[in-house]
Amino acid sequence: MTLETLKSAVPPGVMVAPHGSRTAENRRMLAAFRWNLRVLSYIALVVGAFLVYNTISVSVVRRRAEIGIVRALGATRGAVLAAFLGEAAALGLTGAMAGLLVGRVMAQSAVGLVAATVGSLYVSSTPAPIQLTLEIAIPGVLLGVLVSMISALAPAWEASRSDTRGGDVAGTPGP
């Protein structure tokens, strides 16, 4: 049977199309889905950077006396800066590793849900398995650590500039 014969044989309102004709539509839908996920991942990265910034800022304020003591004992400004950036790197590494694990589980769940929706509304298909390779994971972890350290740079710089001339705990200069 030809396509024209089939079209004439079906009732009005029924669409007859060759197999795979909606592939372009499915590709556009998946491209939009990937774009949305990418934007959401950038938002998550910004939120994480904000949390690290606030955590290190509070840490600097609460440790003002300890910073003064360490500086008075001979620690350089660079050592204080390195200590807070190291703390930020540890937070970034922990967050990135947890993000990999939680993201993998959430991705598997999301693919299952999207596959069910696509299968019931559009076309029956089987999604490819989620792949988390070292080529994806390592740059992701490094990016998480880098963003964490960049977001902690301002409060760490402030901590390294603390004056050691005998100020009180609040950081006001002494006599």
Secondary element (H or E) of residue 10: none
Neighbours of 11 (CB within 10 A): 5
Q: Which two tokens stand for residue 163?
A: 């004056």
- Structural tokens at position 3: 């396509």
Which pLDDT score is estimated for 22? 64
Q: What is the pLDDT of residue 167?
A: 47
- pLDDT tens, 99-138? 999 988 988 888 888 777 776 666 666 777 888 899 989 9
What is residue 28's predicted lDDT score, i.e. its pLDDT? 83
pLDDT (0 to 100) of residue 5: 81
- Report pTM: 0.69
CA–chain centroid gap for 64, Å, is: 31
Query: What residue has token string 């197999």?
Result: 19
> Which pLDDT score is estimated for 168?
45
CB 173 within 8 A of CB 163: yes
Q: Can you list the residues of the chain whose pLDDT is less than 70?
A: 1, 18-23, 119-125, 163-175
152 alpha carbon, distance to own chain's centre: 16
* Torsion sign over Cα 85, 143, 45, 137: negative
Looking at residue 132, its pLDDT comes to 85
